Structure 1
Amino acid sequence: MRKLLDGIYDSAAALAALFMVGLLVMVLLSIVSRQLSFYVPGTDAYAGYLMAASGFLALAYTLKRGEHIRVTLLINALKGRWRKALEVWALALATFLALLFAVYSCKLAWQSRTYNDISTGSDATPLWIPQLAMAFGAVILLIAFIDELVMEIRGRRVTAASGEALRNE
């Protein structure tokens, strides 16, 4: 099960990286097209869609690698069962919020598909297509929080420390 979950997180991160490359292509295409005086419709909108997709798809991967911002002042002051209780409470709350986020992201994409919502730009993209990446990323984030919560309750959670904290001066 661990291999499957890690594979899901890694695959979502790889897809996020691919979308980031797509974002670069869209920005470069926009710059070059303006310099050469021709118009490519939708480059700004697609750049935005790709940026959102890469951000949402990378959420679970960054959570599992300990790269999300955490306020550790209180948790570092606690020891033993109080610390574990606070960790479980925080992860349970985060899991609940991720659940709401996933449900409403999926609902938004579904409604956009049902009502045939399209973007207001010249590209007229059906909005459910870029919203799928947000919903997909939110669902994977929910899975990652459930994973973290279960591992914390079982006492098997290894908190990955971000390397950024080590470089503070």
Structure 2
Amino acid sequence: MPARPEALTRTLVSRIDALCTAAAVLGAACLAGLFLLILSEVLARNLLGQSLAFSWDFAAYGMGCCFFLSAANTMKNSGHVRVTVLFELLPPGPARIAEGVACVLGMLVSLALVYALGDMAWLSYVRGSTAASVVKTPLWIPQSLMTLGALVFVLALVAQFLRVLLGEGHVDRPDIEDAL
């Protein structure tokens, strides 16, 4: 007997959620590395009287990667800032439709971001672009990680849209106020 569409949808949402968690772990690793880098910079300046040549570049890469890689998991856990006044004013059916529309619009904007970041990373790779700093970091590496994070965010929006279709969106959850 073939699997029911609802079961397949729940499996897909579950796999996307796992991917969001994995991206968040990578984002947390970037944050931990950023902390160690800044700590090393502070110690080097105060104890050795000189700066680490690569610290500012790597700090910027780490922040970008941390932001993009963590966005999907934040979405999954209802951690993004939401304007709920519309959902509170609408009856459940129209509120669910509004949430679905918001997911689709978010996907479109995020797909444009994925395209732009991916194109930038690809051009950096093809051109052999490196940072203007002493370290000469190949720019496609941090740009690719940011692209990956943005892509996982798109998938998180897909999962949220599927949750709305299953009747499990933010509007349908009475506990959502605790997360907001």
TM-score by length of 2: 0.84
Which deviates more from structure 2 when the two are superposed, residues 61-70 or residues 143-152? 143-152
Match of 1:52 in 2: 64
Select the residue among 42, 52, 55 that pairs with 1:43.
55
Once the two structures are superposed, the pairs formed by residues 127-146 of structure 1 within 5 Å of their partners are 127-146=139-158
Query: Number of matched residues?
Result: 165
Any idea what SS the aligned residue of 2:176 has?
Answer: coil
User: Which shifted more, 39-48 or 16-25?
Assistant: 39-48
Aligned residue for 2:176? Answer: 161
Q: Which amino acid aligns with 1:78?
A: L
Equivalent in the alignment of 1:107 = 119
Query: Could you tell me which residue of structure 2 aligns to residue 89 of structure 1?
Result: 101
1:152 Cα deviation from its structure 2 partner: 1.1
Stretch deviating more after TM superposition (20-29 or 75-84): 75-84
Rounded Cα–Cα distance in structure 2 between residues aligned with 1:99 and 1:153: 21
Structure 1, gaps ≥5 residues long: none
1:151 paired residue number: 163
Q: Distance in 1 between matches of 2:32 and 2:178?
A: 25
Q: Distance in 1 between matches of 2:138 and 2:177?
A: 38
Output the CA distance in 2 between the equivalents of 1:137 and 1:162: 27
Q: Which amino acid aligns with 2:39?
A: L
Aligned counterpart for 2:33 among listed residues 22, 25, 32:
22
Compared CA separation, residues 130 and 162, structure 1 to 2 (3 A): farther
Question: Percent identity of the aligned residues?
Answer: 26
Kept after mapping to 2: 8 A contact 1:64/1:144? yes
- Mapped to 1, the partners of 2:166 and 2:14 lie a distance apart of 18
For 1:81 and 1:130, locate their aligned partners in 2 and report how far apart those are by CA, in whole Å.
42
Match of 1:61 in 2: 73
C-alpha RMSD of the superposition: 1.7
Gaps of 5+ in 2: 1-10
Aligned counterpart in structure 2 of residue 11 of structure 1, from 19, 22, 26: 22
Kindly indicate whether the alpha-carbon contact (under 8 Å) linking 1:88 and 1:152 is maintained by their aligned counterparts in 2: yes
Match in the other structure for 2:6: none
**Quick one: higher RCO (CA 8 Å, sep 6+), 1 or 2?**
2
Deviation at 1:164, TM superposition (A): 6.1
